A and B are shown apart, each in its own frame.
Chain A
Amino acid sequence: GESVGLHLPTLSVQEGDNSIINCAYSNSASDYFIWYKQESGKGPQFIIDIRSNMDKRQGQRVTVLLNKTVKHLSLQIAATQPGDSAVYFCAENNGGFQKLVFGTGTRLLVSP
């Protein structure tokens, strides 16, 4: 469904820790999911994607897990760095409509 929020949930971690950001999606027909990173005043930056026929995908320091049973998506960031501080959005694509619907976002704060 559409995403509206008055404030962003925040995850605070120490540098070097692993971070896990969660996202619940709404449409069981969604076939493609993307995680984006957005720094203040900038557009979203692609991090990693996953298709609905997969349950895990790994990138450099990032892993996305997809649980279609409970419609849950997570982004794991290994050895979190201060440069990872940003707002992270998940987005789902309903293949029939070819539109991305964004989650509410999570702010990640990494302390040195």
Chain B
Amino acid sequence: GAVVSQHPSWVICKSGTSVKIECRSLDFQATTMFWYRQFPKQSLMLMATSNEGSKATYEQGVEKDKFLINHASLTLSTLTVTSAHPEDSSFYICSARLLRDYPSYNEQFFGPGTRLTVL
């Protein structure tokens, strides 16, 4: 259980175009999903918290107009990188939080990641 998928697994696009990445929780409902970015040989950096039915909460330094997040259902969140540039090339990973009975702990299950390359 607690499987999270991402699509696509990799994408190559031209500079200036937009790219949409999907994150799905396959066997559970997730009111909260998270989007991370990981550069080579570095750790995961949280970009934003996506809440179903409300606006995403972005971390400091992350441009909300550039990284559009939509969490339209309890099993799907999307990240759209708008007007992509080469410096946006990275490994984007989503996670979905599995809520358990009280006390609730922040147990997150991660997707396989999406490799974005902007030419």
On A, residues with C-beta under 8 Å from B are 2-8, 31-32, 34, 36, 41-46, 49, 51, 89, 93, 95, 98-105
Contacts and interface: CB of A to CB of B under 8 A. Distances in A.
B112 to A, nearest CB: 5
Which of A4, A45, A98 lies at the interface centre, i.e. has the most chain B CB atoms within 10 A of its CB?
A98
Given A43-B112, A44-B93, A5 B105 contact: no
A43 B41 contact: no
Interface in B54-111: 91, 93, 95, 97, 105-111
A7 B41 contact: yes
Given A32-B106, A51-B105, A93-B105, A43 B113 contact: yes
A2 B36 CA distance: 13
Contacts of B42: 3-6, 105
**Chain B interface main SS type:** strand
16 contacts: A4-B43, A4-B45, A6-B41, A36-B110, A42-B112, A43-B6, A43-B113, A44-B93, A46-B107, A46-B110, A49-B105, A89-B44, A98-B32, A98-B49, A100-B34, A105-B43
A100 B14 CA distance: 32
Given A3-B43, A5-B41, A102-B43, A43 B107 contact: no
B19 interface: no
A93 B111 contact: no
Contact of A45 (B44, B45, B106, B110): B110
Contacts of B113: 41-43
Contact of A32 (B49, B93, B105, B115): B105
Contacts of A6: 41-42
B118 interface: no
Contact of B110 (A4, A31, A44): A44
Contacts of A103: 43
B46 A99 contact: yes
A74 to B, nearest CB: 18
B103 to A, nearest CB: 8
A98 B44 contact: no
A5 B107 contact: no
